[in-house]
Amino acid sequence: MKTFRVETYDSYDSPDKRSHLLQGEFQTHQEALALAKKIVTNFIKEQILSGSIEAAVSAFYISAEVPLILGEITEGEYFHPYEYANLIAKEIARQ
């Protein structure tokens, strides 16, 4: 039985028009988290190639497929995709 799902929604759509797309189902939170982080990281890297770090993060806020982890999340396991986008952009900038 799969206990965690990663779904994405388009950040451009208004909440009442959002539809979620299933990206994967996993046995563990760590597996789901890895996919969610990969989705954000790939988007930020792609955007940085055509602009600045700030533009990449702004693009994530307004036009990205935003990942959500659904399942039995315990305290400390919640994934914040927008916070992670800021964090990974800064890490990429240091490379």
> What pLDDT score was predicted for residue 73?
86
Model's pTM, two decimal places?
A: 0.89
User: What pLDDT digit, counting tens, does each position of 67-92 carry?
Assistant: 999 998 888 888 999 999 999 999 98
User: What pLDDT digit, counting tens, does each position of 5-37 carry?
Assistant: 999 988 766 667 777 889 999 999 999 999 999
Give Cβ neighbours of residue 50 (< 8 Å, ≥ 6 apart): none
Contact 5, 36 (CB under 8 A): no
What is each CA distance from 62 to 19, 20, 36, 59, 77, in whole angstroms?
A: 16, 16, 17, 5, 25
Residue 46 CA to residue 54 CA, distance in Å, equals: 13
CA 52 to centroid of chain Cα atoms: 19
